[in-house]
């Protein structure tokens, strides 16, 4: 089990730092603006929470982005609460055991939990760098993320979250290496 509390709180804090004039800015997730990545985070949080609870249905059966990435009214308050609920849902051993579903894909609970962590951290970073905010991940969590991404992408880039890997120097830390495996340049900054 991985405790997602810190990762979820960190990304929630980044959401609260997004200014209205930044919503249409580009992000390292090249196909999506800040607005769309924020909306994606708001949509994925309840889906992964439902997957943890094995509450399979509409939330877990829809692929990401169905209906577009549209910010909900009241997102500034709702999305951080959704992230906190996501972290809470993954606190039980049952969430990590057995099979579950998210994005209309069946997968083991342990893998689903790691995908949830990846989504929260990588998209949190996307939003942070696109809006000029700091974002850091502790070494232990970064190592778990890197290991998961290397394993998950072993067959090649994964459609959606991931693009082709980016080459980085041998001296970068685990989080920057994880970002590179996910198809992001860790040095990306909004111009």
Q: Please write down the HEC assignment for all residues of the chain.
A: CCCCHHHHHHHHHHHHCCCHHHCCCECCCCCCEHHHHHHHHHHHHHHHHHHHCCCCCHHHHCCCCCCCCCCCCCHHHHHHHHHHHHHHHCCCHHHHCCEEEECCEEEEHHHHHHHHHHHHHHHHHHHHHHCCCCCCCCHHHHHHHHHHHHHHCCCCCCCCCCCCCCCCCCCCCHHHHHHHHCCCCCCCCCC
Could you list the pLDDT tens digit for every one of the 191 residues in the chain?
899 999 999 999 999 999 999 999 999 988 899 999 999 999 999 999 999 999 999 999 998 888 889 999 999 999 999 999 999 999 999 999 999 999 999 999 999 999 999 999 999 999 999 999 999 999 999 999 999 999 887 766 665 557 788 999 989 999 999 999 999 999 998 76
Give the pLDDT of residue 68.
87
Give the pLDDT of residue 156.
64
User: Residue ranges of the domains in the chain?
Assistant: 5-135
What is the C-alpha to C-alpha distance for residues 93 and 96, in angstroms, rounded to an integer?
5
Give the pLDDT of residue 160.
55
Burial 104-125 (b: 16+ CB within 10 A, else e): eeebebbbbbbbbbbbbbbbbb
CATH code for residues 5-135 = 1.20.120.450
């Amino acid at each position: 089990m991985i405790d997602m509390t810190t990762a979820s709180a960190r990304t929630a804090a980044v959401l609260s730092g997004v200014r209205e004039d930044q919503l249409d800015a580009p992000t390292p997730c090249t196909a999506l603006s800040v607005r769309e990545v924020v909306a994606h985070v708001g949509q994925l949080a309840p889906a992964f929470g439902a997957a943890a609870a094995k509450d399979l249905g509409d939330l877990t059966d829809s692929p990401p982005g169905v209906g577009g990435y549209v910010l909900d009214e009241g997102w500034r308050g709702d999305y951080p609460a959704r992230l906190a609920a996501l972290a809470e849902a993954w606190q039980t051993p049952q969430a990590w055991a057995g099979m579950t579903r998210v994005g209309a894909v069946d997968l083991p609970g342990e893998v689903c939990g790691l995908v949830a962590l990846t989504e929260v951290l990588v998209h949190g970073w996307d939003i942070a760098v696109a809006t000029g905010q700091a974002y850091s991940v502790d070494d232990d969590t970064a190592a778990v993320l890197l290991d998961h991404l290397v394993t998950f992408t072993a067959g090649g880039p994964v459609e959606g979250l991931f693009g082709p890997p980016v080459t980085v120097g041998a001296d970068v830390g685990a989080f920057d290496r994880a970002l590179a495996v996910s198809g992001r340049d860790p040095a990306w900054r909004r111009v």
